[in-house]
Chain A
Amino acid sequence: MKWRAVALPSGPDGYNRHLVDRLPKWTQVSDSALLARFDGPTPMEVQAQVTALFDAIREASIEGVRNLHPAFRSLLVVYNPVRWTPQALLQRLEEAGTRPSPAAKRAKTVTLPVCFSPGFAPDLPGVCATAGLESDEAIGLFTARAYRVAFLGFAPGFPYLLGLPPVLAMPRRARPRTHIPAGSVGIAGEQTGIYPADTPGGWQIIGRTPLRLFDARREPMSLLLPGDEVRFVVIDEPGYEELSQW
């Protein structure tokens, strides 16, 4: 099936002005889902496009659109196929996509305290050894950057963050751990993420935040949304205990 390209929204303040001409390719990936894929020069720019389209479609609150799953370079739109033919829905998504996006205004900066003590950071020595850095240097590099929430996936409230300094990149553990405590900050390749709940997992754990990232009984239930900026600040163990929401 051939898809027409969807025009991207342009931010009112120029946030994504230079991205306007970059159009996603749409593919039907099930009888009830369309996938928009973006291409672009850098991961950050591509992700801004994904977030802009995600926000525009959400803003339009289209009847019969059941779920939106943003991810790296793509946005999955899950819809009710009784309500829509894929052709008609695509046209509606195009309309929504041409409206100015609220993304730039919605995105916020969240500061997350992280404790890097050995008990909270079992893989920090391995990351330091691979990078050829002392742990202070690695922590300094890690916390000096601003990160961008590409999307939430894997488990409720699990953020995939872009912006890791390449020197700290590290493949997943060959053998995943059966138990990773909630709040653990991990590295997998060039991504950073935070486990919102106790789960098994294979990311390299370098620290832990005392803040609760996701709670279905709280408003807002997720501390982070796609497009948000994240900064990490170092805390010690007493600081962790003081701030602990667990």
Chain B
Amino acid sequence: MVTTVEVLTPGMQTTVQDLGRPGYGHLGVSASGAADPLALRLGNLVAGNCEDAAALEMTLLGGRFRFHGPALCVLAGADFTAALDGVPVELWTPTYVRAGQTLGFGGTRGGARCYLCFGGGLLAAASLGSCSTHVPSGIGGRPLLKGDVLTVRETAASPEPRSIRRAVLERLRAASDVLRVTHSAQTAEFPPESLDHLYSLPWSVQNDSNRMGVRLAGVLLEAPMRGSMTTEGAPLGAIQVTPSGEPVILFVDHQTTGGYPKIGCVISADHWRIGQLRPRQTVRFVHVSFDEARRLLLEQETLLKPEGLFG
């Protein structure tokens, strides 16, 4: 018996995401995938899934979902005040949902994205090898609407959820308003004052930020090559400075190429933090070397190994 889940309300922007579809950048298709990949991986591991199983990504305000069958669920990422038939549900732990129950989410209590992972994962049509929704192009689908019905993937064995070590979880998800940043393609061409401002002043996340880009308000940065730069490939996390002097962090659904100079790039180990930035939140940047950025990522990956995570 396959379990289906009905969308009673979709929330602000709820999409199906896995770890993305790399390999199509030359066709203009960015990798997309979970905005907080660390939360998705952890949620899936707790649910007994492989870490890239498809799940729901909710943004700022969650939805309400009625289960037409039993399922194992794990919530990961930001706390969206979830409740199962009115009873609060904890994050990062397996929750068994029975047929006929409703899992409802409210607004965020901190952070921007909450993941609803299912034991077995969601059964969704893959497009170019991934179930991820690329919102601007519609590749992989569209944000959920009221009345949509989702299907939980059947597994041969019943899912084997695991409980995560709190100490490791706290290390992986330590709260911080700092994003660490390396040099990028045009860093050397920016005037020194622009770099001083980037690294010394607080930045406020603007309301119109989304999965394509996170726009930041603060001082206006003096940018080189105003309007005259040659279009080149742009990596995830790059901080572009627009002709008006506004920094924008390129995010998971970003354009594959761009013509604005890049003053720096957020390190891979902090990409999940970009996905948790809320509108009007203050963020600061700290510079690190490429070697340090790689060391921090390897440290994060070591903490994600099951032997340490589940003890």
- A residues touching B (Cβ–Cβ < 8 Å)? 1, 27-33, 35, 37, 54, 58, 66-76, 78, 81-82, 85-86, 151-158, 160, 197, 214, 216-217, 221-222, 225-226
Residue ID in chain B nearest A27 by CB atoms: B185
**Complex Cα–Cα for A154 and B254 (A):** 9
Known: A76-B232, A151-B257, A160-B231. A29 touches B28 (CB 8 A): no
Known: A71-B257, A157-B28, A221-B128. A30 touches B139 (CB 8 A): no
Residue ID in chain A nearest B134 by CB atoms: A156
**Complex Cα–Cα for A153 and B27 (A):** 7
Known: A29-B262, A81-B297, A153-B257. A71 touches B24 (CB 8 A): no
Tell me if B59 is interfacial: C-beta within 8 Å of chain A: no
State whether B255 touches A154 (Cβ < 8 A): yes
Contacts of B137 in A (CB 8 A): 155-156, 197, 216
State whether B26 touches A54 (Cβ < 8 A): yes
Question: What range describes how many residues of B lie at the interface?
Answer: 35 or more
Known: A29-B262, A31-B290. A76 touches B27 (CB 8 A): no
Tell me if B256 is interfacial: C-beta within 8 Å of chain A: yes
* A-B contact list, 17 entries, CB within 8 Å: A32-B268, A33-B233, A58-B26, A66-B22, A67-B256, A69-B25, A69-B232, A72-B231, A75-B233, A78-B25, A152-B27, A153-B257, A157-B28, A197-B137, A214-B28, A216-B139, A225-B27
Contacts of A32 in B (CB 8 A): 235-236, 268
Find B232's partner among A35, A66, A82 (CB 8 Å cutoff).
A35
Known: A74-B232, A221-B128. A69 touches B298 (CB 8 A): no
Tell me if B108 is interfacial: C-beta within 8 Å of chain A: no
Find A154's partner among B26, B28, B183, B185 (CB 8 Å cutoff).
B28
User: Within the complex, what minimum Cβ distance (angstroms) separates A26 from chain B?
Assistant: 11
State whether B238 touches A69 (Cβ < 8 A): no
Tell me if B265 is interfacial: C-beta within 8 Å of chain A: yes
Within 8 A of A (CB), among B10-56: 22-29, 31
Tell me if B294 is interfacial: C-beta within 8 Å of chain A: yes
User: Within the complex, what minimum Cβ distance (angstroms) separates B280 from chain A?
Assistant: 26
Given contacts A37-B232, A155-B255, A156-B29, 12 further A-B contacts (CB under 8 A): A29-B262, A30-B268, A67-B23, A69-B257, A81-B268, A153-B231, A154-B256, A155-B28, A216-B128, A221-B128, A222-B27, A225-B26
Known: A76-B235, A81-B297. A151 touches B26 (CB 8 A): yes
**Complex Cα–Cα for A214 and B203 (A):** 38
Number of A-B contacts (CB under 8 A): 140
Contacts of A68 in B (CB 8 A): 25-26
Within 8 A of A (CB), among B39-82: none
Contacts of A67 in B (CB 8 A): 22-26, 31, 256
User: Within the complex, what minimum Cβ distance (angstroms) separates A200 from chain B?
Assistant: 11
**Complex Cα–Cα for A197 and B137 (A):** 8
State whether A214 touches B262 (Cβ < 8 A): no
**Complex Cα–Cα for A66 and B26 (A):** 11
Known: A29-B185, A67-B25. A153 touches B294 (CB 8 A): no
Contacts of B237 in A (CB 8 A): 30
State whether A31 touches B297 (Cβ < 8 A): yes
State whether A86 touches B290 (Cβ < 8 A): yes
Contacts of B139 in A (CB 8 A): 156, 216
State whether B234 touches A69 (Cβ < 8 A): yes
Residue ID in chain A nearest B238 by CB atoms: A30
State whether A216 touches B28 (Cβ < 8 A): no
Scan B217-239; emit 1 where CB is below 8 A from any A CB, else 0: 00000000000001111111110
